Amino acid sequence: MNGQLQMIDYLVFGFYFIVVAGYGYWIYQRKRSKEASTTDFFLAEGSLTWWAIGASLIASNISAEQFIGMSGSGYKMGLAIASYEWMAAATLLIVAIFFLPVYLKNKIYTMPQFLEKRYNSTVSMVMAVFWLLLYIVVNLMSILYLGAMAVKSISDMSIVAIMALMSVFAIAITVGGMKVIGYTDVIQVLVLIIGGVAATYIGLETVAAKFGTSGVMNGLSTVRAQADDHFHMVFDRSNPNYIDLPGLSVLIGGMWIANLNYWGCNQYITQRALGADLKTARSGLLFAAFLKLFMPLIVVLPGIIAFVLHQQGDFQQTMLDSNGKEDVNKAYSNILSLLPEGLKGLSFAALTAAIVASLAGKANSISTIFTLDIYKKAINPNADERQLVWLGRVTVVVAMILAFILALLFGEQLMGEGKQGFQYIQEYTGFVSPGIFAMFILGFFWKGTTSNGALFATIGGFVFSVFLKFLPGMMDLSGLASIGFSVPVTKKDDAGLEYIIYEIPFLDRMLIVFTLCVIGMWIISKLELKGRKNPKGLEVDSSMFKISGGFLAGTLIVAGVLIALYGMFW
């Protein structure tokens, strides 16, 4: 079957583009009278419904790194990689119950604003600049490049043309403001789910036919039987993928640091809920948690299906990179190649929807931070609403151009063929997330935390992470293997000869660094205050964390499903 897109596929995609662009323009026209309002442009204050918030969260989160990177990890290590999705469902509930009330009660709408209110302007400005660079240099660039690689695998277009078109599409959505992003994301998520389910459905049907049966359930049973080792959620130390997902750390260790930092301390994500009231915001996060439970069906299972088919002789050439080596990141595009004409165009639209929604959300966050937290505070404090909204739109365009240039210059070198994109992004984000999360969590719930303690966590967390990453190259850590702190990893030297080095799994490193940051913050804050009260503490009381009966019922359902899933696939 031809893996490339045909004319009907491009027509289906064109129809999708027209619907999304037209709907976004209609939303923009309805709110045009408020276009000079910064709260409306950056936050869509009071106008996003719970289902729009939840859909926008998922649309902004699911991108090429999931469809391509997570499917590739599913091919290599199996269902265990789904912990990033399923643990995120639990994390969203924690953020809804404990984090959102603190933000909304204290009228906090951006992450640098929280840092200024809780600590001081120095901490806020340092982190604003840091986030700006991180979002452009790492996030926008990686989404754009990985997305272009994914689209190129099923189309005849060049990477440059794909990146240019996706950038223009994202800009067209983003300059309309957060409300346009939020409501167009509802369509994006719908297309994403339909297209993703279609790819999984056809993949399972193909497996069933390959083994002489028919039907999706027979296909699923066959996949389970043929790749039983790919259906374990918690690895033991003998598993070759333990370095990526170190056993119980996915349940009680560093996975929590990664998820809580991403979903609770990230402008890109929390911005969707900060413009709503607490009830609406919580309902949106609960809806997103339910959606998260289903995501592995469309971003992990296709990778396992590709593995089974490859073991049966399929995809022998198309799973290879340009050097003739197996490239796990080609798993998802190989599953898409099974789809008939027309349906392939729908899945192509789903993949593009995921990429563009993430680009638009990230660009809006970049615009918000630069305009409100840098320009308004440090460059032109007297700027009026209209000027700020205009600058916000210009910032979106500039950020996308910079990401486009960076992707052209460095994309191949950093994220080219053969690299596990999803795991790569997770590990290197983990260099900064433990310190940032320590700074936020103590800032929320311990009034004694000082600004110097926060700076220690920010800078010290990064230093600790780098030190632990390169420690195995400076000393032998094999002695730590007996107590579970290091695992053997096979490497190759410049001559191609293999050798073994003992490394600390990056999720375990994150937990260690987070613990060191918390201890350091506690010591510094205690020494600095010397028994005095800290005047910068936030307004927090237990009544803020009460939840409604409906939210409690939804939480119990999500928790029950998660317990059942981990019990079934332990």
Q: Which domains does the chain have, with CATH numbers?
A: 7-13+49-239+271-414 (1.20.1730.10)
- Using pLDDT thresholds of 50, 70 and 90, give the confidence band for residue 217: very high
Q: Which residue has the tokens 């003992």?
A: 502
How far apart are the C-alpha atoms of 555 and 169, rounded to whole Å? 36
**pTM of the model as a whole:** 0.84
Burial of 275-304, coded b for 16+ CB within 10 Å and e otherwise, reads bbebebbbbbbbbbbbbbbebbbbbbbbbb
Backbone angles phi, psi at 238, to 5 degrees: -80, -10
Place of tokens 């000027």: 387
Q: Is-contact 206 302, C-beta < 8 A?
A: no
pLDDT (0 to 100) of residue 1: 44
Asked whether residue 59 carries a pLDDT value surpassing 90, the answer given is no
CA distances, 522 to each of 136, 453, 457, 506 (Å): 33, 7, 10, 24
Mean pLDDT calculated for residue range 115-119: 87
Neighbour tally for 9: CB within 10 Å: 23
The answer to whether 154 and 337 are in contact (CB under 8 A) is yes
Please check the confidence at residue 440 and state whether its pLDDT lies above 50.
yes
Q: Position 230: which residue type?
A: H
The whole-number average pLDDT for the span 478-495 is 74
Do the beta carbons of residue 177 and residue 43 sit within 8 Å? no
All residues at 6 or more sequence positions from 44 whose CB lies less than 8 Å from its CB, including other chains = 177, 178, 179, 181, 182, 275
* CA dihedral of residues 141, 356, 330, 205 (deg, nearest 10): 160
Q: Alpha-carbon Rg of the chain, whole angstroms? A: 23
**pLDDT > 70 fraction of the chain, expressed in percent and rounded:** 88
User: By mean pLDDT, which of 250-254, 273-277, 313-317, 391-395 is the weakest?
Assistant: 273-277
Q: What percent of the chain has pLDDT over 90?
A: 27
How far apart CA 252 and CA 87 sit, in angstroms, is: 10
More confident residue, 423 or 383: 383
Amino acid making up residue 456: F
- Where is mean pLDDT largest: 178-192, 255-269, 309-323, 545-559? 545-559
**What is the pLDDT averaged over residues 502-506?**
85
What is the DSSP secondary-structure string of 344-400? Answer: HHHHHHHHHHHHHHHHHHHHHHHHHIIIIIIIIIII-TT--HHHHHHHHHHHHHHHH
Beta bridge partners of 502: 488
Distance of alpha carbon 65 from alpha carbon 147, whole angstroms: 8
pLDDT the model gives residue 42: 57
What distance in Å separates the CA atoms of residue 421 and residue 328, rounded to the nearest whole number? 10
| Burial call 387-416: b when 16+ CB within 10 Å, e when fewer | bbbbbbbebbbebbeebbebbbeebeebbb
Hey, which of 37-51, 355-369, 374-388, 547-561 has the most confident mean pLDDT?
547-561
Task: Give the pLDDT band of residue 162 (cuts 50, 70, 90).
Answer: confident
- What value does the mean pLDDT of the chain take? 83
Collapsing DSSP states into helix, strand and coil, what is residue 284? helix
pLDDT surpasses 60 at 36: no
Query: For position 555, what pLDDT does the model report?
Result: 95
Res. 490: pLDDT tops 60: yes
Q: Give the pLDDT score at 51.
A: 84
